[in-house]
Structure 1
Amino acid sequence: MSLRARLTGFGSYLPKRVVTNAELAERIDTSDEWIRTRTGIAQRHIAGEGETAVSMASAAAQAALAYAGVSAESVDAVIVATATPDQGFPATAVRVQAALGMNRGFAFDMTAACSGFVFALSTAEAFIRSNQAKKVLVIGTEIYSRIVNWEDRTTCVLFGDGAGAVLVEASDDTDAGILSTHLHSDGAHGDLLYVDGPTTEKPVLHMQGRDVFRHAVAKLSAVVDEALTANGLAAEDIAWLVPHQANLRIIEGMAKKLDLPLDRVVVTVDRHANTSAASIPLALDEAVRDGRIKKGDLVLLEALGGGLTWGSALVRL
């Protein structure tokens, strides 16, 4: 019997503190108009004291389990995508495993920057298809506010903190689940977007924004075509696009390529900013819970991040 990996639970967590563009403009040389025009961002959530990558991931995971009506004890694996762990080791995922009260299964982290959630989702699907796991929590959690240079207006305005999670379960329903995933990387472009490692005195994010934007448009277009071709589908078959929330102009460009009106694209970048590996599950949770995305909808996920890494996933809810 061929197993499908089906998304059955959705959850998210956003820090309580909201920082608007106007507030940032009081501290650095920028303005609300400058940020909105270039990125589409109006505000972002910033983690406060006591809010960590682990605590946010755990809260998002608990919400996903509650949505699915599944106990943590029945979960076989936890995969956390993060570029901003609280510790070099142990993995954020094992801390989440402990916080959820799990005493079985396995847990590990994945680092693919903003593409991390798609990479982790693909890995969860592989475990399920190979019958190594029946239930897998896939989580993206990020605290970029602690690694950006708050004096650099070209980068600090772009990012926010948060966590999103999905529960992926084995299913024999061939009409639903993950249809395919498509992953890529090109290390030759690693210096376009990177963060120094934990052995440095203070890890700081570095980004060549124009070059990243240029690669994003080309590579995301190609990986979207790859997903559609692999499944014998056309752009008009897509009910919803849930993209990585990096920049509104990139999102609008992908919608135009697919000939999708923006009201069929889940957009949270205006309120969440770029939450890296957390952005897709945060957006997915919001759209499922508010009723936009319904059971049976064909949903396309896509992301590009440092590495460079990029990927897509085609999912029928």
Structure 2
Amino acid sequence: MKANQPMVKVISSGKYAPSTLITNEDLERLVDTSDEWIVTRTGIKTRHRAVDETTSDMAYKAAMEAINRVNYDKDKIDLIIMATITGDQMTPATANFVQAKLGLNHEVMSFDINAACTGFVYALETAASLLQTGRFRAALVIGGEQLTKIVDYTDRNTCVLFGDGAGAMILEPSTHERNQAFFFNAARGDTNNTLTVVNHIKMDGKRVYLFAIDAMEQAIRKVLESSGLAIEDIDVIIPHQANERIIQSVSKSMGIPMDKFMLNLSEYGNTSAASIPITIAEYYDQNEVKNKKILLVAFGGGFTWGSAILQL
């Protein structure tokens, strides 16, 4: 057993995506692009768009799916961490709105994390560390985004990428060695403003692409090293769903088969902090998850990058 690594039991997972879709054909009518151009460069075919829903609405629905999946007593939840760059408003935190919508009237520590697309992995490590203190019974960790409200639909390079949605996980502290979790998270200041959001998302695609490949490789290697595991010990890699070509490049350079990576960006596009928890929930939907080891890896603006290994 590795020292100083938190032990957490993954209880459940849930997701929510709005029913309204933005297809590649819809985008062809807005900017100079085509379905073929988008699919060959990104792998994205559709993305979901929230209409008359807030980020906290979607986060609440994802949380309820996680709760209902295992008939969980939501009153056990006393820690809510929300990863988002598109919260309902600057303050209160979107996590506070989720707490209210869940009807949790007891004392709950609720706050948001902004680490861009790496936000959910940051939030997981924060939750795992707090659970180890013995002060909390259960953590609800959510990634949720309404990116369509900050997309510039005149920018053909970015408007094809982003969608809305939310994913959630419930964690409890554990004393069982098999539930040891491993994390690697890092950041470096992006002085070139390569990926920013002021009023709209702005991105230097080539710079982000090169950074992403290197960051994902480093994050995978670091978390495997800290865990003492090999890639063969991992049942599935769940990457941030940004661009299929980035994941293909990582697969090729590291010699990891593509079928080891779970992808769903063809339906959702890039949902930033929501992409990994949405994919985890779909893994729950499609597989018998008992005794599975999952490796999560992400990169995002900031620049941020990180990884985690969890036992389901």
Question: Are positions 1:22 and 2:17 aligned together?
Answer: no
Decide which of 303, 306, 315 is 2:310's aligned counterpart.
315
Q: Corresponding residue for 1:249?
A: 245
Query: Which consecutive segments of 4 or more residues in structure 1 shift more than 4 A?
Result: none
Decide which of 174, 178, 181 is 1:179's aligned counterpart.
181
Q: TM-score, normalised by structure 2?
A: 0.95
Bigger Cα displacement from structure 2, 249-258 vs 21-30: 249-258
Summarize deviations over 1:161-198 as a string: whole Å, max 9, x none.
0000000111222213x5211110001346111111xx
- Which consecutive residues of structure 1, in runs of 5 or more, have no partner in the other structure? 197-202
Question: 1:233: Cα distance to partner?
Answer: 1.4
Give the secondary structure class of the aligned counterpart of 1:15.
coil
Give the secondary structure class of the aligned counterpart of 2:237.
strand
Partner Cα distance (2:87, 2:192) in 1: 20
Decide which of 203, 209, 217 is 1:207's aligned counterpart.
203
Q: Corresponding residue for 1:264?
A: 260
Q: Corresponding residue for 1:99?
A: 101
Task: Map residues 133-144 of structure 1 onto 2, 5 A cutoff.
Answer: 133-144=136-147
Decide which of 149, 158, 161 is 1:158's aligned counterpart.
161
Q: Corresponding residue for 1:218?
A: 214
Bigger Cα displacement from structure 2, 225-234 vs 185-194: 185-194
Give the AA of the match of 2:244.
L
Question: 1:118: Cα distance to partner?
Answer: 0.2
Q: Corresponding residue for 1:237?
A: 233
Give the AA of the match of 1:123.
T
Question: Are positions 1:88 and 2:90 aligned together?
Answer: yes
Q: TM-score, normalised by structure 1?
A: 0.94
Give the AA of the match of 1:68.
V
Question: 1:132: Cα distance to partner?
Answer: 2.4
Q: Corresponding residue for 1:123?
A: 126
Question: Are positions 1:289 and 2:291 aligned together?
Answer: no
Q: Corresponding residue for 2:72?
A: 70
- Which consecutive residues of structure 2, in runs of 5 or more, have no partner in the other structure? none
CA gap of 1:194–1:3, structure 2 versus 1, over 3 A, is closer
Question: 1:256: Cα distance to partner?
Answer: 3.0
Question: 1:53: Cα distance to partner?
Answer: 0.1
Partner Cα distance (1:215, 1:169) in 2: 34
Give the secondary structure class of the aligned counterpart of 1:155.
coil
Give the AA of the match of 1:161.
D
Question: 1:71: Cα distance to partner?
Answer: 2.0
Matched residue count: 308
Query: Do the aligned residues in 1 keep the contact of 2:6 with 2:181 (CA within 8 Å)?
Result: no
Question: Are positions 1:112 and 2:115 aligned together?
Answer: yes
Q: Corresponding residue for 2:269?
A: 273
- How high is the sequence identity, in percent, across the aligned residues? 41
Query: Do the aligned residues in 1 keep the contact of 2:165 with 2:271 (CA within 8 Å)?
Result: yes
Give the AA of the match of 1:58.
Y
Give the secondary structure class of the aligned counterpart of 1:213.
helix
Partner Cα distance (1:269, 1:261) in 2: 18
Give the AA of the match of 1:215.
F
